[in-house]
């Protein structure tokens, strides 16, 4: 995946700018017609789910995250520079937290667990180079 | 309908051929009358203006562009192709609609 929007979307997600992450990835998704379109949609739904969780819409969060997880589960452990296995693990923990929040057993706070999209080592180096060349 | 998973990206609104989609909190219009918003929190579809794109496209355009799959058929309002097509004709009285085909109705498969 060479489109800068992909890496920028991931970066925004990891900065907990979930709405912006979804917007950037959606912009790419609308144009994308190759086999990874479903993968991109998974990332968008995960971003949307985290946005809803952050806003206290736990029902919407669970539904979106579940849809994102289902799509993401179709991909190998490492895909397009992302450690999918770790992300799925984190999302599973996050869904448990959100479920507790929905039941009133926990509250979302700045210290709450948020998943991060971890890059594989090779792509961490590549994306750092890529961002270094494109930052204004 | 649009579910509460809507993230308010607005991608769906311009796609609707019947102008049936409105932003949360916005009043909606039909036959010269203005009505209160159906949702204040997120985008919504006015059921009396939605034809599920029958008469226009092979599938629902709002669902096609929604990245989070929150534009879904309303399970509490299941309408026939005939009802939807009649609505399309009433919403666009100045337009002549050709006979329905797979290109203009999701009820028909190519």
Which residue's structure tokens are 């989609």? Answer: B21
Average pLDDT, chain B: 95
Q: Which of residues 26-65 of B touch A (CB under 8 A)?
A: 65
A45 contacts chain B (CB < 8 A):
yes
pLDDT tier at A133 (50, 70, 90 boundaries)? Answer: very low
Of A29, A57, A59, the CB nearest to B67: A29
**Contact list, B3 vs chain A (CB under 8 Å):** 60, 63
pLDDT of residue A107 exceeding 80: no
CB spacing of A44 vs B68 below 8 angstroms: yes
Q: What is the pLDDT of residue A132?
A: 47
Q: At what angle do helices A37-54 and A18-31 cross, to 10 degrees?
A: 160
Q: What is the pLDDT of residue A124?
A: 58
**Contact list, B6 vs chain A (CB under 8 Å):** 60
The region, left, alpha or beta by phi > 0 then psi within -120 to 50, assigned to residue A56 is left
Residues whose CB falls within 8 Å of the CB of residue A57, separated by 6 or more in sequence, listed in order: B4
Of B3, B9, B68, the CB nearest to A45: B68
Q: At what angle do helices A58-72 and A37-54 cross, to 10 degrees?
A: 160
* pLDDT cut 90: percent of chain A above it: 60
Rounded CA-CA distance B104/B64 in Å is 14
| A39-70: pLDDT as tens digits | 999 999 999 999 999 888 999 999 999 999 99
Q: What is the pLDDT of residue B101?
A: 95
Strands (E), chain A: 78-79, 82-83
| B43-85: pLDDT as tens digits | 999 999 999 999 999 999 999 999 999 999 999 999 999 999 9
Reported ipTM: 0.75
CB spacing of A26 vs B67 below 8 angstroms: yes
A44 contacts chain B (CB < 8 A):
yes
Of B11, B65, B68, the CB nearest to A48: B68
pTM of the predicted model over 0.90: no
């Amino acid at each position: 995946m060479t489109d800068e929007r992909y890496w920028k979307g991931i970066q925004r997600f990891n900065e907990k700018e979930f709405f912006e992450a979804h917007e950037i990835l959606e912009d790419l998704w609308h144009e994308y017609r190759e086999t990874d379109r479903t993968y991109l949609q998974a990332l968008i739904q995960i971003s949307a789910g985290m946005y809803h969780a952050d806003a206290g819409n736990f029902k919407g969060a669970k539904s979106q995250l579940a849809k994102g997880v289902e799509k993401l589960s179709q991909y190998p452990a490492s895909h397009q520079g992302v450690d999918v296995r770790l992300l799925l693990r984190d999302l599973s923990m996050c869904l448990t937290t959100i479920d507790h929040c929905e039941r009133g057993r926990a509250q979302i706070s700045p210290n709450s667990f948020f998943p991060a999209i971890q890059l594989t080592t090779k792509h961490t180096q590549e994306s750092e180079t890529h961002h270094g060349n494109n930052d204004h | 309908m649009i579910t509460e998973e809507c993230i308010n990206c607005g991608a769906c609104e311009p796609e609707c051929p019947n102008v049936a989609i409105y932003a949360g909190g916005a009043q909606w219009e039909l036959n010269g009358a203005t009505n209160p918003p159906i949702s204040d929190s997120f985008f919504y579809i006015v059921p009396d203006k939605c034809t599920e794109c029958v008469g226009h496209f092979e599938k629902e355009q709002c669902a096609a562009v929604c990245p989070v799959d929150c534009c879904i058929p309303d399970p509490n309002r299941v309408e026939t192709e005939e009802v939807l097509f009649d609505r399309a004709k009433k919403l666009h009285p100045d337009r002549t609609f050709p006979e329905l085909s797979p290109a203009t109705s999701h009820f028909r498969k190519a």
